């Protein structure tokens, strides 16, 4: 199959195999179909209920539990499974991968993904890991929607020596889904995402857990007064627990480094409050407000009230 049409545009993939049809996998399926990025879409999931929903929703041409049969003949295989499952899945499907196939993923950690999957993949396939920085707190095939990736970053982290043509095809695929694509090394990705995504999630989980443990505050009061910042922490803390468990265990070095920095800054903030240092507090809040405005300015959020959630699709977007 040619990699480009007569006009030089990337040709659609002949057979796209998606392993795992949760929020991300089902959104890829919908987006790829809508944009004509694949001639055939195969959904692979071991959960019978998920396969049933995929068939009912009509978001794939084939839905199967057979990993080997599902990836056979596919020229693009995307692993949409928790980071901790990438290695075992790569090992299980390796023997069925077609020569020239491209294998990718959607994990929030890249160094561990490369280390876990690359040793199992045969030399006749290309491995181009990817991380679409998009999502909601919802999960399952019903949660997906084709516009999930529109205007969102997708970071590619191809290992050294990956064929440039394979990277170009994966880039074109994500651009076809509406993403803005960046390429970086796996190690750099993990450090950047530790502070922009992983540590914020860890803080959210911790704050929600602390509030739940406070015996002086009843559950009804927590819910009743959640219209403040606590509500937005609960949105993040509602994310897939399996996925985030794996993220923290596989990106521990970068997360611990960023947590150390965070703890130092938090201690400085505590000192400012203790010693009535209003000038230091005002300076920090002014600087962070400017960062928020910068995020809005580059199109990664809206300036609307309520985090721009109204009319944003089935669920609010959250960092991946």
Is residue 227 very low, low, confident or very high in pLDDT (cuts 50, 70, 90)? Answer: low
Q: What is the pLDDT of residues 93-112, one digit of tens each?
A: 999 999 999 999 999 899 99
Instruction: Report the alpha-carbon distance of residue 195 to residue 193 in Å, rounded.
Output: 5
Ordered domains of the chain (ranges, CATH): 13-185 (3.40.50.720), 188-308 (1.10.3660.10)
pLDDT (0 to 100) of residue 187: 92
170 and 156 Cβ atoms separated by less than 8 Å: yes
pLDDT (0 to 100) of residue 6: 46
pLDDT (0 to 100) of residue 209: 81
Residue among 30, 128, 28 nearest 80 (CA): 28
Q: What is the mean pLDDT of the chain?
A: 85
User: What are the φ/ψ torsions at residue 17 (nearest 5 degrees)?
Assistant: -110, 125
Residue 36 token pair: 């004509």
pTM of the model: 0.78
pLDDT (0 to 100) of residue 128: 97
- Write the DSSP symbol of residue 118: G
Compute the residue count for the chain.
320
Is residue 1 very low, low, confident or very high in pLDDT (cuts 50, 70, 90)? Answer: very low
Q: What is the pLDDT of residues 258-306, one digit of tens each?
A: 888 889 989 999 999 999 999 988 988 888 777 667 665 666 565 554 5
Model confidence at 318: pLDDT above 60:
no
Is residue 307 very low, low, confident or very high in pLDDT (cuts 50, 70, 90)? Answer: very low
Instruction: Report the alpha-carbon distance of residue 165 to residue 183 in Å, rounded.
Output: 14
Average pLDDT (222-228) is 68
pLDDT (0 to 100) of residue 102: 97
Model confidence at 19: pLDDT above 90:
yes
169 and 3 Cβ atoms separated by less than 8 Å: yes
């Amino acid at each position: 199959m040619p990699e480009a049409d007569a006009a030089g545009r990337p040709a659609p993939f002949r057979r796209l195999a998606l392993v795992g049809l949760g929020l991300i996998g089902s959104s890829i399926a919908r987006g790829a179909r809508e944009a004509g990025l694949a001639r055939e879409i195969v959904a692979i999931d071991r959960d019978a209920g998920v396969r049933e929903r995929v068939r009912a929703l009509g978001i794939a041409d084939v839905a199967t539990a057979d990993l080997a049969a599902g990836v056979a003949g596919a020229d693009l295989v995307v692993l949409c499974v928790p980071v901790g499952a990438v290695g075992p899945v790569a090992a299980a499907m390796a023997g069925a991968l077609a020569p020239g196939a491209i294998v990718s993923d959607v994990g929030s950690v890249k160094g561990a993904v490369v280390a876990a999957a690359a040793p199992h993949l045969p030399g006749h396939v290309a491995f181009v890991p990817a991380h679409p920085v998009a999502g909601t707190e919802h999960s399952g095939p019903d949660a997906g929607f084709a516009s999930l990736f529109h205007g969102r970053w997708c970071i590619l982290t191809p290992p050294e020596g990956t064929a440039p043509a394979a990277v170009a095809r994966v880039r074109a695929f994500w651009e076809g889904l509406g993403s803005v694509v960046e390429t970086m090394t796996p190690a750099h990705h993990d450090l950047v995402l530790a502070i922009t995504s992983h540590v914020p999630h860890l803080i959210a989980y911790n704050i929600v857990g602390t509030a739940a443990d406070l015996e002086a505050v009843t559950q009804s009061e927590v819910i009743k007064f959640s219209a403040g910042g606590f509500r937005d922490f609960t949105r993040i803390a509602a994310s897939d627990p399996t996925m985030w468990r794996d993220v923290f265990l596989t990106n521990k070095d970068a997360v611990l480094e960023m947590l150390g920095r965070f703890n130092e800054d938090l201690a400085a903030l505590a000192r400012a409050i203790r010693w009535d240092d209003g000038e230091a507090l005002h300076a920090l809040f002014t600087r962070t407000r400017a960062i928020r405005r910068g995020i809005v300015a580059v199109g990664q959020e809206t300036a609307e009230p309520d985090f721009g959630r109204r009319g944003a699709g089935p669920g609010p977007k959250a960092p991946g």
